[in-house]
């Protein structure tokens, strides 16, 4: 299997970026900023194979000016031009060949450290690449199933992560995960700009705020309010959904919550071999950590993805899951009988 198969949807996302931004933010006057938001639907399908194989992951580190907020841009450092980087999907026992190239227009050295790797720096040592260079790469055996973060680990790693260099790799257990109707890919991060939240134009990074852990922006999939409007998550009443949720960080633990829903199952901390937690309201996901969350959507409406440290919502950390279908008054309806006149007789 090649990287294209592993990262199905990346090309489609690139086409969408060219065709016009689907992000809720409006076009900038200069029109030069890229849409760096990776769609929550941009992940490969379950592998559905019974045997281990040799698979390839090919990444390119790209620095580019992207749209951070309405009228606001930022120079992102990315894997493959989007935040988060591509969702990698392998199976336990697979032998994985990782190749990393650093785009010639980069200013910085980059690499990649996969938490799914057992070995030196998670591959970080073998993937160091100067601008315009390709690293020697590395090969690893996926020993432990789970949902893992990967990230750039070039010093100062916190800076590379804050600028967008993180993603998830799923190592499917034998037999895979229980099937669901829809799978989504969501990651949380922080951005430390010199200018205050809400400033317009191209913002610069603040080293002081980074070291003091005082971000101006909090983001799902790279930009303020990115997973709303044209990039909201969608499902139909009665479907089961799974969110692969990770925190790039670099610093803040997420108290991930979906307003109006209860997580039926949580693969806590990304562990896929223990029994999942059940009936959970909010999960705690540390930087460099992840969780898979399953729930059935029983009632139509707009469900809001948040970090329940809710001040962060005002700094960009809001997403939406839009559920369509017939009303389910047995599960939820507005009003109580006497207020609706139903007890009149
Ligand atoms: Cu980097």
Q: Is 80 left (phi over 0), alpha (psi -120 to 50) or beta?
A: left
Q: How confident is the model at residue 23 (pLDDT cuts 50, 70, 90)?
A: very low
Is it the case that residue 143 has pLDDT exceeding 50? yes
CA of 99 from ligand 1 middle (Å) equals: 15
* pLDDT for 271: 98
> What was the pLDDT predicted at 32?
76
Say how far apart CA 203 and CA 197 lie, in whole Å: 10
Q: Count H helices, E strands: the chain?
A: 5, 20
Quote the ligand 1 centre to 207 CA distance (angstroms): 15
**Residue 327 CA to ligand 1 centre (angstroms):** 47
Average pLDDT of the chain to the nearest whole number: 91
Whole-number Å distance, alpha carbon 129 to ligand 1 midpoint, is: 9
pLDDT in tens, 252-299: 999 999 999 999 999 999 999 999 999 999 999 999 999 999 999 999
CATH class (in words) of the domain with range 182-324: mainly beta
20: confidence class by pLDDT, cuts 50, 70, 90: very low
91 alpha carbon – ligand 1 mean position (Å)? 26
Regarding predicted confidence, which is higher, 8 or 276? 276
Alpha carbon of 78 to ligand 1 centroid (Å): 8
Q: How far apart are the first and last CA of the chain?
A: 68
65 pLDDT exceeds 60? Answer: yes
Distance 105 CA to ligand 1 centre (A): 13
User: Would you list which residues are annotated within the binding site for Cu cation?
Assistant: 110, 115, 151-152, 160, 165, 308
What's the CA-to-centroid distance between 206 and ligand 1, angstroms? Answer: 16
Altogether, the residues listed in the chain come to a count of: 345
How far, in Å, from the CA of 230 to the mean position of ligand 1?
29
Q: What local confidence, expressed as pLDDT, does residue 338 receive?
A: 85
Cα 205 to ligand 1 centroid, rounded to whole Å: 14
Average pLDDT over residues 166-193: 97
Binding-site annotation, residues? 110, 115, 151-152, 160, 165, 308
Question: Which has the minimum average pLDDT: 8-12, 72-76, 93-97, 218-222?
Answer: 8-12
Question: Measured in angstroms, how far is the CA atom of residue 63 from the centroid of ligand 1?
Answer: 9
CATH fold, domain 54-172, is Immunoglobulin-like (2.60.40)
- Please write the tens of the pLDDT for every residue from 91-103: 999 999 999 999 9
* Ligand 1 center to 95 CA (angstroms): 25
How remote is the CA of residue 130 from the centroid of ligand 1, in Å? 10
Q: What is the pLDDT of residues 207-259, one digit of tens each?
A: 999 999 999 999 999 999 999 999 999 999 999 999 999 999 999 999 999 99
CB atoms within 10 A of CB 52: 15
178 C-alpha to ligand 1 centroid (Å):
35
Distance 221 CA to ligand 1 centre (A): 17
Residue 314 has pLDDT above 90, yes or no: yes
Exposure of 1 in the CB half-sphere (CA atoms within 13 A): 23
Domain residues of the chain, as ranges? 54-172, 182-324
Residue 181 zone, left/alpha/beta (φ > 0; ψ -120 to 50; rest): alpha
Query: Looking at 19-23, 74-78, 161-165, 253-257, which range is the least confident one?
Result: 19-23
More confident residue, 5 or 182: 182
CB–CB of 270/276 below 8 Å?
no
């Amino acid at each position: 299997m090649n990287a294209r198969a592993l990262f199905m949807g990346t090309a489609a996302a690139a086409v969408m970026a060219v065709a016009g931004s689907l992000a809720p933010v409006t076009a900038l006057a200069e029109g030069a900023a890229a849409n760096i938001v990776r769609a929550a639907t941009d992940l490969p399908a379950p592998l559905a194979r019974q045997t281990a194989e040799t698979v390839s992951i090919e990444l390119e580190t790209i620095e580019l000016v992207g749209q951070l907020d309405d009228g606001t841009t930022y120079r992102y450092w990315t894997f493959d031009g989007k935040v988060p980087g591509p969702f990698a999907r392998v199976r336990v026992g697979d032998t994985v060949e990782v190749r990393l190239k650093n785009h010639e227009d980069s200013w910085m050295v980059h690499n990649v450290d996969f938490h799914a790797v057992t070995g030196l720096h998670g591959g970080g040592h073998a993937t160091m690449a100067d601008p315009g260079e390709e690293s020697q790469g590395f090969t690893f055996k996926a020993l432990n199933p789970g949902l893992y973060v990967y990230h750039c680990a070039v010093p100062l790693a916190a800076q590379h992560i804050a600028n967008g260099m993180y993603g998830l790799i799923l190592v499917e257990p034998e037999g895979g995960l229980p099937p669901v109707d829809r799978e989504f890919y969501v990651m949380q991060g922080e951005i430390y700009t010199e200018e205050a939240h809400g400033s317009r134009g191209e913002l610069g990074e603040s080293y002081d705020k980074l070291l003091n852990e005082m971000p101006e922006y909090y983001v799902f999939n790279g930009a303020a309010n990115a997973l709303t409007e044209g990039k909201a998550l969608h499902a139909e009443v009665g479907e089961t959904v799974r969110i692969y949720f990770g925190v790039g960080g670099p610093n803040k633990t997420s108290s991930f919550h979906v307003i109006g829903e209860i997580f039926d199952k949580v693969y806590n901390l990304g562990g896929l071999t223990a029994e999942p937690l059940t009936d959970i309201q909010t999960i705690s996901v540390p930087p460099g950590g992840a969780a898979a969350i399953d729930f059935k959507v029983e009632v139509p409406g707009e469900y809001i993805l948040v970090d329940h440290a809710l001040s962060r919502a005002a700094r960009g950390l809001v997403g939406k899951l839009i559920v369509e279908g017939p009303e389910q008054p047995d599960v939820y309806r507005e009003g109580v009988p006497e207020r609706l006149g139903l007890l009149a007789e």
